[in-house]
Each structure stands twice: as structure tokens, then as C-alpha cells.
Structure 1
Amino acid sequence: MSSCSSKFSNKQIRLGIFAFYICQGICFSSWASRIPDIKNYFHVGDGEWGNVLLMIPIGQILGMVLSGFLISRLGSKKVLLLALPLHVLGLIAVGLSSSLLTLMLSLVAFGFFGNFVNISVNTQGIIIENIYKKPIMSSFHGGWSLAGFFGSLIGLLMINLGLTPLQHYIFILFIVGILIIFNCKYLQPDKKSVSLESNEKTVQSIQETNNKSYKKKTYPEMFLYLLGITAFCGMASEGAMFDWSGIYFEEVVHVSKNWAPLGFAAFMIMMATGRFIADYAAQKWGKQRIIQVCGLSISIGLFIAVLFPHIIITTLSFMLIGLGVSSIIPTIYSLAGQKTKINTGMALTIVSSIGFVGFLLGPPIIGYISHAFNLRYSFALIGIFGICIFLLSTYLKVFKQKD
């Protein structure tokens, strides 16, 4: 394989990009690990806390408006090096918040710059994957999840040392700063467009193809929307675990606040494990079987956590949920890109947009149901989403096609 750079090997560059996924994962998990502390500090109920949790997705949506434009103009390298420090400073602003209003504004900023980090770091990942000419994106996302696990352990340590969220986040700023300094040299320039002559030939070829296939179907197939609904259920489950696992341990399992991040840590380590083995498992057993097992794992894990709120049993059930959540989105994205007859980018946009609504609505819905009833009812609802994933993957014909 050809090298991306004359100065560094492909392996060095891959590890350098991997470090930026680590940065992104540790930032988000650091926020998630202190959610129970921050919620208790502001003395808000589950319903009001659901409104607070909306702020990060709102910031991400606002970031979507500009991220693609700026990355196309400035390049993912420059955007990443600017957005990542601002993302961490958003975390610092959360730690500095003294009122609910400043907390919500800080979370909007945290989500806003987080979207720029997400788009730019994945653009870097695609550049490296194209050089390797084999799938390696799952390992990058596995790095994100692995960082989430270690981030939750850091949160657990900080809580037991009696450190405030602000002190915790300053420590994360130091870690991320070190990783940026030592790995920024490995970031790659975005691929430039091909020559004008090549572009003209490509346009001519596309026009000829379009003329030949004018009568063929060119609109999105229905299965893309059904895949989107499956992604919706998976991302709603993922978002619920990110934002409510610590609170569930504290309010339902009744552990001390020192042990509240344990559930999130258990979820994250199995999510990371699942992502590192997802490609091999799908190749051996097929994508349909993987999604079916994932859906059942989510349901069984959540129902066990609801029925038996004991610290050991719930920790094990959260591990089962993490394993279930891990492979759903990568597998669905792969199917959307491979099986459709429309442009791959459009197909992924349809599926990811529907799925993202689940990530957006899942955590607030948990809060509203918890406020009306209790948190166990909320988690039972997410368990039903796992059953929906199983049924959709069983009867959706695209899963039955040869992988």
C-alpha cells in the first residue's frame, strides 16, 4: 500500500488519527460520567433534566448547518485542530456553570463544536481507509468507545477523590492538549479534486449512464427508510444509555454517587469490544444475524435491569446492552451504502438523519416518562425498541440478500 506521507508510515498516521478519536470519546464520556453530580447540583427533576439534555443535540444540529461548508473550504485538518480545543472548552464551561441557563448554553456550545469534531475526524478516518484499501473505520469507532470506557473510569476516580466536575474537566483538557500536540503532525490534507480533464470525462460518463438508465428507478428505495427506523431504535437506545445510565444506578439501583459511573463504564467497555469484533462477526454469521442478536441483547439487558435493580445484575445487564448497541449502526450504514441503487451519500444521509432523530429524542423522552411515572418505565420502553430492531431485521428483505 502506498504511504500517505513521505515523513511517516501508514501505521504511524493511522495511530495518530486514532488518537483524535480517543480525544472525542474521552470528552463525551467525561461529561456523561458526571451527569448525576451535575443534575443533583442544580436540584432538577427528571422532566426538567430532559430539557437540559436536549441542548447537546440542538448544538449538534446547529453545527451541521456550517460544518460541511467550512470543512469543504478549510479542510478537515484545520477544522479539527480548531474545533477540538473549543469542544473541550465547552466542557470547561459546563464545569463553570452556576445557573441552569449557563449550563444549557454551555451544552449547546459543547454539542456545536462536537459536531465539527465528529465530521472532521471521520473525514480524516475515510482518508486513511482509502489509503489502506480495506475497512478500518470500525476500529476507529472502537477507539472512541474504548476512550469512553476509560473516560468513565477517570470520572469514577475523580468522584471518589472528591474532585468537582470543573477540576475533572481541567484534567481532561490537559490530556486532550497533550494528545493534540503529539499527534497533530499526522493529520492529512483532504483529497483534492481530480484534474479538469478527468472531471470532464467523469461528467460525460455520468451523462451517458443517465441517458441509458433514464427509465430505471432513481428514487430512494423503501428499505432505506426502514433501515433508518432500525437505526432510530438503535441510536435512541445508545443515547439513553449515554445520558441516563449513571442516574439509573443512583436513583433505581440506589448505589452511592461514588459508584454511579459504574454502569456507564460497563456499557462502554462492551460497546468498544463489540465494535472491534463487528467486521469479523458480520463476515462469519451475516449482517442479518448480527442485527437480530443486537436487538435481542438490548431488550434482554434492559428488561433484566428493570426487573432486577441490583448492582451486580444491573452492571452485567448494561454490558449486554453495550454489546447490543455496538454493531447496529455500523452494520446498517454498510447495508445502506452497498444495497442501494441511488448515490451512496444520499442513502447514508437518509438513514443517518432518521437515526439521529432517535439519538435526539431518546434521552429527553426518558426524562419525560420518568417524570410522569418512574425511570424503570422509561428503560422498559427502550427495551421495546430492541424488539423492534429484531423484528425489522428479521422481515426486511435487504437483510436476506447475500452480504
Structure 2
Amino acid sequence: MAITTENRAAAQRGRWAVAAMFCTNGFIVGSWAPQIPLLLTRLDIREATLGLLILGFGLGALVAMPSCGLLIPRYGSRKVLTAFAVACTVGLLIVIAMPSVWLAAPAMVLFGALVGGMDVAMNTNAVAVERKLGKAIMSASHGFWSLGGFAGGGLGGLTIQRFGTLPHAIMVTLITLIVVFAAIRFLVSEEQPAPEAKTRTGFPRQPAIYIVGLIALFAMIPEGAILDWAAIYLRQERSADIATAGFAFAAFSATMATMRFLGDIVRNRFGAVLTLRVSSLIAALGIIVAGLSPTPWLAIAAFAFAGFGLANIIPIAFSAAGNQPGISSAAGMSVVSTLGYSGILVAPSFIGFIGQSTGFAPIYLALSVLLVIVFFAARFAASADGAQSGH
């Protein structure tokens, strides 16, 4: 279908509106990070209890993601994203306002559900934008999430130190509410779904969507392993000082955010499958070198190199999920989101348990195998290029 000037302008506005949603979601998650250690003293709990609260956040997200996949075919991603985004702005405030661990626990599950539901809805809406524009925008959208997370984490610590935990949570709510209400009127809507698509429920039967989900899972497990354990690996096994160890995730995040803003250009030029194959090999090589590195700085450089590769695997997997033939964008997105995010929410705890016995170097070498599997499974993500056909 030909894209008129008016339709293209609306799609461009929709692109920036959904980018604002990604940035908002990242800002909320980033703002949560500096609040985590303060829960220990405020609620008078130990680390094990805090771990259970964080697990509750993950479980809330994993329950909401497939549920969101049932709502979007019925109501459209614009309405569902609007509802989740508005609700998500108060999620952090609800958690921080809870005076006891018994009230904080259900609040954490709710917070995780709101963040997870918004995630599925905004990724599904980004696919709708890709279809209207006839080109990829998913990688840049995830780049805006990284920017939001960076801003939330960086400003959060300073704000908490100056004003306290509750004023910080109120500030986050006010800022995100303003951004969300400014953006929602520009969000695009999908084409009206077929009547049978509205009533179809349950899990998709196409095996390909689950392979795309495994691609997302096998990318997010290494990402979670770097996020949670790289600093400890450098500190304990490569004798890095605390300041040096902190550079591992910072360098990884910097290359990942940079490559996400370049990723759509690369994918539009070379196609999703080739981009995915090269990305997986770059990521695998980086993690292998990090695991074999005799020095902290070589390992940090290797983690940064891995960031170039890991950056665009998830955006490509999400575009493939949203364009999978035979199922709705929302159903595909909910499957891939649930499988993928379980890798970053659940797997790191198992990695830590194993790492206590084996050390982390062998774990990083083993995780590179997952990325080699992604290389061989890349052809199942070919539907990501469906966004470029200008439906």
C-alpha cells in the first residue's frame, strides 16, 4: 500500500511517541536501581528477603507479559500501552510508600507486572510503526530505553542523597506522567484486526515463534550474566580494584547503547538474518575473550566488544516476533518477551549459584555457546524484515 505524505508524517510522530515510551520505561527501571539497597534499612530486612522481593518483581513481569498478549489483539497496542504506561508511572511510588515488607511484597509484584506489560505493549506498538514507515526502528527504540535507564540511575542516586527516597519516587512519577501524557496522543494504531484474531486465545502453535523466543533467551542470559556478575568476576578472579571492576558493565552498556542507535541503519542495509548472524559471532567472541582474559582491562574491553554484538539481537528478535506470519503481533511479542526476559530475571540467580563452585570464567565460556546457537537459528528471524515491506 502506498504511504501518503500525511500517513508518513503521522507514522514519524508515532515513532517519536513510542521512543518516549521506551525512554520512560527505562527511566522508571533505572530509577528503581538506586532505591534497591535502601529497602534493606527502611524495611529492616536481610539480603535474602530483598532477593525474594526482587524475584516477586520478575514473577509479576512474567505473568503480565503473556496476559498483555491477549489484551492487545482485542483493544490494540495504542490503548493497552496507554493504560499500562499511565499505571506504570506510579509503580515505583507505590513500592517506596509501603511501610512494611508484607505490603512491599504485593507492591513489587504489581510494579513488575506494570513494567512487563508496558514492555510488551510498547514493543508491539514499535512493530506497528515499522510497518507504517516501511523500515526498522526497533533497535533505536531500545536505544532510547538504555538512555532512559542511564538517566534514571544517574539522577536517582543524586536525588535520593539530596531529598530522600519518597521525594525521589514522587519526582519520578511526575516526570514520567508528563512525558506519557505528552506522547500518548501521537501513538499509532494498528490496522483493525480480523474478527477471528480478536477471539483467538491461548499459545501460538507455530514452532518458529518459540525458536525466536529462544534467540531472545540466549541473548538475554549472557546480558544478565554481565549485568550482575562481571564486576564480581573481575574483582574475585582477575584481582581488579573496585573502581576498575565497575567499568565492566559501564563499558558494555556504552557500546550496547551506541550500537542500538546504529542498528536500524545496519539492519535496513544488510537484512535481519545477516545482521543477527554477525552480531551473535561478535558477542560470542567478546564473551570468550572475557572468560579467557588474564587481565581486568582486557576483560573490560572484551565485554565492551560483546556489547556491540548483543545490542541488536533482542530488537531483531522482537521485530521478528511482531511480524511472524499466522499470528498476531501481540501474541508473538508476548511469547518472545516472556521467554527472553526470563533469561535476565531468573537465570542470573542460577549463574551466581553455579559460579560459587566453578568460578565465573568457565560460565562465560559456556554462555558463548548459546550465542553460537543464535548464529545457526538466525534464519528463523527472517520475518523481522517484514517491517520493511510497508504493509
Answer whether contact 1:23 1:179 (CA < 8 A) is retained. yes
Q: What's 1:296 paired with?
A: 285
- Compared CA separation, residues 278 and 292, structure 1 to 2 (3 A): same
Q: Could you say which residue in structure 2 is the equivalent of 1:278?
A: 263
Match of 1:188 in 2: 188
Are the counterparts in 2 of residues 50 and 363 from structure 1 also a CA contact under 8 Å? no
> 1:148, 1:268 within 8 Å by CA — same for their partners in 2?
no
User: Structure 2 CA distance, aligned partners of 1:224 and 1:121?
Assistant: 19
Q: Distance in 2 between matches of 1:347 and 1:13?
A: 21
Aligned counterpart, 1:171: 171
Aligned to 1:2: 4
- Give matches, 1:1-400, under 5 Å: 1-2=3-4, 9-38=10-39, 44-45=46-47, 49-64=50-65, 66-158=67-159, 161-193=161-193, 220=206, 228-242=213-227, 255=242, 265-282=250-267, 283-284=269-270, 286-301=275-290, 319-332=304-317, 353-369=338-354, 377=359, 381-390=363-372, 392-393=373-374, 398=379
Q: What SS is found at the alignment partner of 1:134?
A: coil
* TM-score calculated relative to the size of structure 2: 0.74
Instruction: Quote the Cα distance in structure 1 between the aligned partners of 2:360 and 2:149.
Output: 24
CA contact under 8 A between 2:62 and 2:342: conserved in structure 1? no
Question: 2:389 maps to which residue?
Answer: none
Render the CA deviation track for 1:316-360: whole Å, top value 9, x for unaligned: 55534433431222344566788x887586776665554343234
How far is the alpha carbon of 1:265 from its aligned partner? 4.7
Helix, strand or coil at the partner of 2:149: helix
Could you state the TM-score of these two structures normalised by the residue count of structure 1? 0.72
SS of 2:359's equivalent in the other structure is: helix
Task: Give deviations 1:372-394, integer Å, cap 9, x for gaps.
Answer: 55xx935752552123313x245
Native 8 Å contact 2:10 2:186 kept in 1:
no
CA contact (8 A) 2:13 2:187 kept: no
Instruction: Provide structure 1 residue ranges, at least 5 long, that are not aligned to the other structure.
Output: 200-218
* Matches of 2:121 and 2:148, distance apart in 1: 18
Sort the Cα spacing of 1:303 and 1:149 in 2 relative to 1 into closer, same or farther, 3 A: farther
d(CA) in 1 for partners of 2:234, 2:171: 25
Given residue 180 of structure 1, which amino acid in structure 2 is its aligned partner? V
* Pairwise CA RMSD: 4.2
Paired residues of 2:279 and 2:310 also in contact (CA < 8 A):
no
Identity between Structure 1 and Structure 2 (%)? 27
Q: Give the whole-Å Cα distance in 1 for the aligned partners of 2:370 and 2:242.
A: 31
105-114 or 48-57: bigger deviation:
48-57
1:23-45 per-residue CA deviation (whole Å, 9 max, x = no partner) reads: 11111122234434445765534
- 1:272 maps to a residue whose letter is A
Aligned length: 366
Gap runs ≥5 in structure 2: 197-204, 386-391
Q: Matched residues in 1 for 2:252 and 2:82: separation? A: 29
Choose 259-268 or 143-152, whichever is displaced more: 259-268
Deviates more, 1:176-185 or 1:348-357: 348-357
- Tell which has more relative contact order, 1 or 2 (C-alpha 8 A, sep 6+): 2
Distance in 2 of aligned mates of 1:400 and 1:125: 17
Q: Once the two structures are superposed, what CA deviation does each residue of 1:296-328 show, in whole Å capped at 9, x if it has no partner?
A: 224434665xx656xx77765553443343122
TM-aligned CA distance change 1:170 to 1:265, over 3 Å: farther
Counterpart amino acid of residue 58 in structure 2 = P
2-structure distance, mates of 1:35, 1:17:
28
